[in-house]
Amino acid sequence: MAPTRIVTRLLHASVVVVILLAACGPSAPAPSTSTGPAPVASQAAASNGQYTGTDPQSFSLLLTTENTQVPAELQRLAAGPCAAENAALPLSVQQTPGAQIQQQIQLLASQNSLPVMFNPTQAFIVKDGALQKAGYILDIKKALTDLGVADQILPGAQAVIDQLYPGVSPTLPFQYNIEGIFYNKKIFAEHGISVPQSWDDLVAAATKLKAAGVQPFTAGGKSGWPVSRWIGAYLFRSLGGDAMAAVANKQAKLTDPGYVAAAQTIQDLGKAGLFPVGVASEDLPTAYNDLVTGKAAMEYQGTWLLANINDPAQNTVGLDQIGLLQVPVISGGKGDAGAWPTNVGSPHAINAKLYGPKVGAWLKCIVLHYADNLMTNQTAFSGFKASHPPVLAAPTPGTTPPPVPPLTVEVANDMASAKSSVLWFEALSPSAKFTSDAGANSLLLLNGSMTPLQYMTLLQNDIDNPQ
């Protein structure tokens, strides 16, 4: 059978699982585009899935239209720190809507015409994924080790990649977000509340605030996942960081008592009135606004929220008045108190069949400079190590990056020091239906219309019967 037909069958046989990340990084200027990736040159396979040979004609990218942050920063690198690499292999960007890109990737793979870098769905690049089997996916960890820059990936970010893709390292962490509970320091101080150290402390603080007429928690319930993430956060503290991996590996079920207890705990928060009365109709911008204007004391979110917190036009409580705490420990829980729920953005794979010295040079330059550029231009985080940490004081010209807000510095320190991480609730789901049902029905759970066992049974059915 012809190679292209084999690839086509593998791709069409794949189960396409799109993990919808909670949010993207800050918006960036729209990058320029090209007419498309250069044709793939014939390559010879080497050991360990790596390829060498003739370089492509350009450093070609095929990314989603919604992915504005990455191409914008790569354009800046091409004009700055990576100018030499760009001169040798010019950057060429093509973008297409996210709803269409997987179909385009399948078509290009069947024609042996995938570009150098592209946004595949996770199912294509896991160990048994179609593009892995067809030899298209570069082992990033091995490539960076060969280039002498493997230490440029933050340990926390690499830990997430290892959990998402056991046995392979197929993606670059262009984004890196941790999730926790953002809180209003001023409200806490006014009501004599210390930063909660345990789950019981957290509930006690929220109950005290409600009694004082302050809205304890806010959440963009209209999107669903801001509520279901609470369930995952509790699970990882109560049952351990591998709680959802055990479900994915058929070693446990969501209908087991410990999992149902987590759903019950979050329902109890809802029954106690600790979330807004209209949480089901509250969208994300409204929830963000509630926190940064002092209408609510706490919000479970990811560090993409820093874009709102660091904007003085939005944040009326003060840049230094919003803090971030980890989900507190649970009495008798098995979870690692130091682990943050973490994600590394959408997959960015490199075509192993186009990997040669020039692409390698580009890859090395990216991992050495991307973090600094992203922080300077967009005050956002990637999973790459920065050459210098963000600073608060006015910098000496030419020696340090511009100063950044205090919480951003704290987050950078948390990310740099994190040695372990856990995934988000829906990360290992076998189907998009699980993700959809987890979010949509979390509101029914929260308001008591669905029992914890009914909620978890529905999700377990999605796992047992993936669509």
**Please, what sign has the CA dihedral across residues 444, 449, 451, 455?**
negative
Residue 72 · residue 174 · CB < 8 Å: no
The pLDDT assigned to 207 comes to: 98
Q: Do 363 and 336 share a structural domain? A: no
Predicted TM-score (pTM) of this structure: 0.76
Q: Is residue 448 part of a domain?
A: yes
Q: Do 315 and 192 share a structural domain? A: yes
What span, in angstroms and rounded, lies between the C-alpha atoms of 372 and 430?
A: 35
The pLDDT assigned to 195 comes to: 97
| Closest by CA position to 236, among listed 265, 195, 268 | 265
The pLDDT assigned to 459 comes to: 96
The pLDDT assigned to 118 comes to: 98
Which CATH number fits the domain that encloses residue 445?
3.40.190.10
Q: Do 82 and 167 share a structural domain? A: yes
Strands (E), 242-310: 296-302
Q: Do 118 and 10 share a structural domain? A: yes
Residue 314 · residue 285 · CB < 8 Å: no
Q: Do 205 and 293 share a structural domain? A: yes
Residue 212 CB partners (closer than 8 Å, separation 6+): 191
Q: Do 230 and 338 share a structural domain? A: yes
Q: Do 239 and 120 share a structural domain? A: no
pLDDT in tens, 192-214: 999 999 999 999 999 999 999 99
Which of 387, 412, 445 finishes a domain? 387
The pLDDT assigned to 294 comes to: 97
What span, in angstroms and rounded, lies between the C-alpha atoms of 72 and 263?
A: 40
Q: Is residue 410 part of a domain?
A: no
Q: Do 253 and 221 share a structural domain? A: yes
Number of domains in the chain: 2
The pLDDT assigned to 273 comes to: 96
Range of the domain at 184: 178-342+423-464
| Closest by CA position to 460, among listed 254, 242, 241 | 254
The pLDDT assigned to 36 comes to: 32
Q: Do 142 and 122 share a structural domain? A: yes
Residue environment code for 333-360, b if the CB has 16+ CB neighbours within 10 A, otherwise e: bebbeebbbbbbbbbbbbbbbbbbebbb
Q: Is residue 183 part of a domain?
A: yes
The pLDDT assigned to 45 comes to: 35
Q: Is residue 430 part of a domain?
A: yes
Residue 218 · residue 295 · CB < 8 Å: yes
Residue 342, SS3 per DSSP: strand
Q: Is residue 92 part of a domain?
A: yes
Q: Which residues of the chain have pLDDT under 50?
A: 1-52, 392-395
What span, in angstroms and rounded, lies between the C-alpha atoms of 90 and 30?
A: 18
What span, in angstroms and rounded, lies between the C-alpha atoms of 121 and 392?
A: 38
The pLDDT assigned to 60 comes to: 98
The CA R_g of the chain, rounded to the nearest whole Å, is: 23
Q: Do 78 and 11 share a structural domain? A: yes
Q: Is residue 277 part of a domain?
A: yes
Q: Is residue 406 part of a domain?
A: no
Amino acid code (one letter) for 72: A
> Rounded to whole angstroms, what are the CA distances from 415 to 183, 381, 419?
18, 9, 9
Q: Do 307 and 216 share a structural domain? A: yes
**Please, what sign has the CA dihedral across residues 223, 224, 229, 234?**
positive
Q: Do 282 and 189 share a structural domain? A: yes
The pLDDT assigned to 183 comes to: 98
The pLDDT assigned to 400 comes to: 57
| Closest by CA position to 288, among listed 308, 317, 312 | 308
Q: Is residue 108 part of a domain?
A: yes
